[in-house]
Amino acid sequence: MKGWQKIIGDIASWLLVIGGIGYALYGYTPGKTITTTTTTPQVKQVQQDQQTAAETVKNVEGIVSNAEATSSDTAGKNSAVKVITTQPVKQTSTVTQQPAGSTAPASAPVQEKKQDTVTVSVKTPDGYLIAPRSVEINDQTKAADVLKLVCQEAGIKLETTGSGATLYTKGIGGWREFDKGPYSGWSYRINGVKGDRSSGVKDVNPGDTLEWNYVVDYREDK
């Protein structure tokens, strides 16, 4: 507002100067009406100047009044402004720590199912036709099945007759019954015990040891 006060002060000074000039020239005093029967051009000019100055002062006062009102209104509005502040969102996280010196429990290793097997061999008086080897079995495997499988794997010819309870082994790898005499032929043992029935119906169990032997005299094979 100091700027407006300076302007008003300058205008007031200007009016005083005009009034002084009028008084010096024509004996005119501001605020008094010049009464004369003849109006000279100089007097008219002074009157116009005085009127212009008065209007200017009035206009300036109006501008100042409007400025003050605007300033007051703006201040009121600003005071009514609601300031909204937001707090930053605080993020949290949970970290689970293992106690010092402890280790996470290891998952149990997957154990593969152990395959059931038996050990089988085929032997003649001259030595092994098939050296001891492992053969996989299941709960339906018979002794004759084990012999058939190892002969196929070894590429050895197997000769049999009958099936099931009547199955009989006649020859293995060229070694046939009666080739070494009237009592020669093939017999089998399971865990050292001579078979008591046809190998076509004899069950085998995991871990068993099967042996096929060519004997010259079955009467001595006890």
Which among 220, 143, 155, 142 has a CA at the least distance from the CA of 185? Answer: 220
Based on the fold, state whether residues 153 and 205 are members of the same structural domain: yes
Model pLDDT, residue 100:
59
> Could you tell me if residue 109 is inside a domain?
no
Based on the fold, state whether residues 70 and 137 are members of the same structural domain: no
Does the pLDDT value for residue 71 go beyond 60?
Answer: no
Mean pLDDT of 11-18: 61
Whether 213 contacts 195, CB under 8 Å: no
Give every CB contact of residue 129 below 8 A, 6+ residues apart in sequence. 122, 123, 154, 156, 172, 173, 175
Question: pLDDT-based confidence at 221, cuts 50/70/90?
Answer: confident
The number of folded domains in the chain is 2
Question: pLDDT-based confidence at 114, cuts 50/70/90?
Answer: confident
| Enclosing domain of residue 16 | 2-80
> Could you tell me if residue 161 is inside a domain?
yes
> Could you tell me if residue 178 is inside a domain?
yes
Based on the fold, state whether residues 53 and 131 are members of the same structural domain: no
Question: pLDDT-based confidence at 186, cuts 50/70/90?
Answer: very high
Model pLDDT, residue 4:
56
Based on the fold, state whether residues 136 and 183 are members of the same structural domain: yes
Model pLDDT, residue 115:
84
Give every CB contact of residue 160 below 8 A, 6+ residues apart in sequence. 144, 167, 168, 169, 170
Domain harbouring 136, CATH code: 2.170.130.30
More confidently predicted of 180 and 30: 180
CB atoms within 10 A of CB 64: 16
> Could you tell me if residue 97 is inside a domain?
no
Distance CA 198, CA 188 (A): 10
Based on the fold, state whether residues 72 and 159 are members of the same structural domain: no
pTM score, whole prediction:
0.51
> Could you tell me if residue 166 is inside a domain?
yes
**Token pair for residue 185?**
């032929």
Based on the fold, state whether residues 137 and 49 are members of the same structural domain: no
Question: pLDDT-based confidence at 52, cuts 50/70/90?
Answer: low
pLDDT (tens digit per residue) in 135-169 = 999 999 999 999 999 999 999 999 999 999 999 99
> Could you tell me if residue 66 is inside a domain?
yes
Model pLDDT, residue 164:
95
Residue with tokens 């293995």: 172
Based on the fold, state whether residues 121 and 207 are members of the same structural domain: yes
Mean pLDDT of 179-208: 96
Q: Which of 80, 105, 128 is the last residue of a domain?
A: 80
Mean pLDDT of 172-190: 96
Give every CB contact of residue 175 below 8 A, 6+ residues apart in sequence. 124, 129, 186, 214
Mean pLDDT of 190-210: 96
Does the pLDDT value for residue 123 go beyond 70?
Answer: yes
Does the pLDDT value for residue 61 go beyond 70?
Answer: no
190-196-200-204 Cα dihedral, nearest 10 degrees: -30
> Could you tell me if residue 40 is inside a domain?
yes
CB atoms within 10 A of CB 136: 12
